[in-house]
Amino acid sequence: MTSGEQLTPRAALLTAASGEPATPGPRTQPALLELWARMMSTGPVPVDDSYLPQSPGAEWALRVVQAGFLDVAPDRDTVRRAVPSAGAIHPYEIYLIAHDSAELAAFAVDTVRRICSRTTGHPSALRRTLDLGLPDPGALGAHIVVVTRPWLSMRKYGPRGYVYTQIDAAHLATNLLGIALSLGAQASVRLRIPRRALNAGLGHGARHREVHSVLTIAPPTGIYTDAPWSFSRMPIGHLPRGVDDEFEEMCWASLPDGLPESSGVQGALVSRPLVGAEASEQVTDKSRLIGEWSTLSLARRSSRSFARGAVPFEQLAEAVSTVHVALPSDLPGGAGPSRHDVSMTVLPFSVEGAERHVHGVISDRNPVSDRGMVLRACMNQHYLENAAAFVVFHAARRDVVDPMRPYLLREALFRAGAAGHLIYLGATRCGLGVTALGGFDQARWRSILRLSPDREVLYVMALGLDGAQGEKYDRLQSAYAHGQ
């Protein structure tokens, strides 16, 4: 190397590490110093700029966030959340839009430090979301905005991490909705929303983020949070830049620009089930589930293994029929025989009395019942071997991937994730073990369930007797359920 040649920081480090006789050119030292400086950079420390807001809406929304996401006792060695997430990554952030004094304001919710920071940089952009049809939350209400950060999941799972991000966000939005309803609020979730305007209205924090859904709550009067939250006034431009911005940018650039934007709020709010079961008996008392939602969401967890043994048919039917609970959203009823875009098929293995109910809860497609095949379809996740039944959500390809209706992709995954969440709650109530499965092989599931080739398998759940013991390999650093 000649002394004038450019030395990259990495080359400088390799030279330094190789043990070769040092032949440092004049650029070695600056390159190493630059590398060291970058490695040690943490970004600016957030400013402590606390204040007391005049925002009953934000305080009430924090109560919902607290109960719907955070209020779970820590496990022995890990923090638990009220909602499941692929790899326990939780690749999203929560924002609020509410009045603070007389002004419409946006807040970023730091769920770890429990700080709610004002991020209103563009009040005019926030106002514009109202012009585009988002209702004014009113003095006492709020919008809780779920914002995804796909990179957090994609850096582990590659492009499929985007699908997991959408399903994870669906679990969160559904749980917040159920919690708000169970606390007596009026609440509904919207997916057909003006995302660009919302991104701008949320300010700087929306970089590399995608607005997923808006949950609108109008609380019953007189109940506010008693949760230990603090508020901070952090004007736009002062939010610290993430240290991994440049890597996140690379991941962000791999996502198509064309993912669904709607120009304004569309679709009336209607309370209806979000998926259709191919065949189903309705055994769940819907209002009871809403009443028990808070308790069930705190008790919910993903099974680490399943114990050998059969599950009575009635127990399984009660657990899975929670998908019929109607939830208020802006999603249309859909088309097809069941008037829904996403369907559910139940595949029993060890279910007492299942044979009598082929036309009830359980699929009558005469599916292949070979456990080995099912395990392979679940990427050989061996701790599923004693699962008593599998629930599979699937949809016609045209209802998931349609260039004329690109927003359907997000909506189909939302329906599957929301239904999966209801099954988590149903299984918890019935004392059954349950786990979500995002690591599966579509083609194998199609052939097991004898689905036509134009159906997309979106999400799978396993249910059975909870084995209580075991590792959740899905949480390992490696993408275990992807065969790594």
Ligand X SMILES: Cc1cc2nc3c(=O)[nH]c(=O)nc-3n(C[C@H](O)[C@H](O)[C@H](O)COP(=O)(O)O)c2cc1C
Interface residues with ligand X (CB under 6 A)?
A: 80-81, 84-86, 88, 164, 167-168, 171, 301-302, 381, 435-439, 472, 474-475, 481
Instruction: Give the number of other CB atoms < 10 A from CB of residue 480.
Output: 18
Q: Which of residues 259 and 299 has its CB atom nearest to ligand X in the complex?
A: 299
CB of 230 to ligand X, least distance (A): 26
Identify which of residues 301 and 446 has a Cβ nearer to ligand X in the complex. 301
Query: Which CB sits closer to ligand X, 178 or 438?
Result: 438
Q: Which of residues 14 and 443 has its CB atom nearest to ligand X in the complex?
A: 443
Q: Which is nearer to ligand X, 41 or 477 (CB)?
A: 477
Residue located via tokens 């006492």 = 140
- In whole angstroms, the minimum distance from the beta carbon of 111 to ligand X comes to 15
170 closest CA partner among 457, 407, 410: 410
Q: Which amino acid is at 51?
A: Y
Q: How far is the CB of 305 from ligand X (least distance, A)?
A: 10
Minimum CB distance to ligand X, residue 319 (Å): 16
The partner residues of 343 in beta bridges, in order of sequence, read 276, 394
Token digits for 296?
């069930």
β-sheet bridge partners, residue 411:
none
CB of residue 87 vs ligand X: minimum separation in angstroms?
Answer: 6
The residue to which tokens 């070769």 are assigned: 20
* Minimum CB distance to ligand X smaller for 85 or for 232: 85
CA–CA gap between residue 99 and residue 279 (Å, rounded)? 46
Angle ∠(300,303,304) on CA atoms, nearest 5: 140
CB 180 within 8 A of CB 187: yes
Least distance from ligand X to the Cβ atom of residue 232, Å? 29
Question: Under 8 Å CB-to-CB from 224, ≥6 apart: which residues?
Answer: 56, 59, 60, 63
Q: Which is nearer to ligand X, 93 or 474 (CB)?
A: 474
How does DSSP classify residue 50? B
Cα(176)–Cα(179) distance, integer angstroms: 5
The residue among 92 and 349 lying less far from ligand X, judged by its C-beta, is: 92
Provide the 3-class DSSP secondary structure of residue 293.
helix
Q: Is 195 exposed, middle or buried (0-12, 13-18, 19+ CB in 10 A)?
A: buried
Nearer to ligand X by C-beta: 47 or 255?
255
Tell which residue, 375, 360, 355, has the closest CA to residue 448. 375
Nearest Cα to 388, choosing from 309, 283, 279?
309
How far is Cα of residue 134 from the mean position of the Cα atoms in its chain?
Answer: 22
| Nearest to ligand X of 167, 311 (CB atom) | 167
Interatomic CA distance for residues 13 and 474, integer angstroms: 34
For residue 85, the minimal CB distance to ligand X (Å) is 5
Closest CA to 86 of 480, 448, 475, 483: 475
Residue 342, phi then psi, degrees to nearest 5: -120, 130
Question: CB of 90: closest distance to ligand X in angstroms?
Answer: 9
Q: Which is nearer to ligand X, 216 or 302 (CB)?
A: 302
Question: C-beta of 81: minimal distance to ligand X in Å?
Answer: 6
Measure the CA–CA gap between 36 and 459, rounded to whole angstroms.
Answer: 44
Write down the least CB distance from residue 78 to ligand X, Å: 8
Amino acid at site 62: L
Q: At what angle do helices 160-182 and 56-65 cross, to 10 degrees?
A: 120
Inter-residue contact 232 to 109 (CB < 8 Å): no
Provide, rounded to whole angstroms, the least separation between the CB of residue 116 and ligand X.
Answer: 24
